[in-house]
Every structure is written in C-alpha cells, then in structure tokens.
Amino acid sequence: MMSENYDMSPEEIKANLEVLENSFNILFQKWNLGILYTLTLKNAIGFSELKRILGVNSRTLSDKLKLLTENGYIDRNVIDDTPLRVEYSATEKGKNTVLLALPLLYSTISDKV
C-alpha cells in the first residue's frame, strides 16, 4: 500500500477533524442512520410512513428530521395539496453517507445473527 504525505498545517488538520467529529456525532445518534437508510431506499416518503417503518415516536422523529435537514443530509419538500403534505428524501450527501455506512450496518446485523 502506498502512503501519501499531505501538506496540511496543524490548523487545517484540526479543522478537518472538527468537521468529521460533528458529522459522526450527528450520524451516530439513535435513529439518524435508520432515517437516512430508509429515505435512500424509499426515495421520498411522508412523515407518517417514515414513523410507521421505523417505529419511532413523533417528537423524536420530528427532532431528528429537523437536525438532518439542517445539516444537509435530507430535503424537506412541502407539497401544496389538500391536505398539505410534507415528504422527505435523502440528499446526495445523505445517500453517500448511507453508502459509506453500509459496511458498518452490515457488520452490526451480521453480529446479531
């Protein structure tokens, strides 16, 4: 394996680590990866269907969706219809995160079997 040396200052390394740490803190909170995984597989779905699939309470789901939306992992789309509907979908950032997390999800499932 070839090792590359990156010319980064200690400040740049620290800044990159802070971004990574923030992302990991968000993603490894309970429900967040499950939400992203579900939205990646289902494309766009509403709050009630997401709640039913995950078995999470409304307050928790609402908080998690807000956090993931604010951090660019999911999109919230309000559909002007009667009644008004809201659908959620994974952004490219969210989909890429799920793809990177699949080995972790797979190993966790494999350990339980």
Q: In the chain, what are the domains?
A: 43-113 (1.10.10.10)
pLDDT band at residue 82 under the 50/70/90 scheme: confident
Share of the chain above pLDDT 90, in %: 53
Between helices 58-70 and 32-42, what is the axis angle to 10°? Answer: 80
- CA gap 86, 89 in Å, rounded: 10
Average pLDDT, the chain: 87
Long-range contacts of range 79-87, CB-CB < 8 Å, 24 or more positions apart? 85/46, 86/46, 86/47, 87/44, 87/45, 87/46
Q: 54, 58, 46, 59: which is closest to 85 by C-alpha?
A: 46
pTM of the model: 0.77
pLDDT band at residue 45 under the 50/70/90 scheme: very high
pLDDT confidence of residue 12: 87
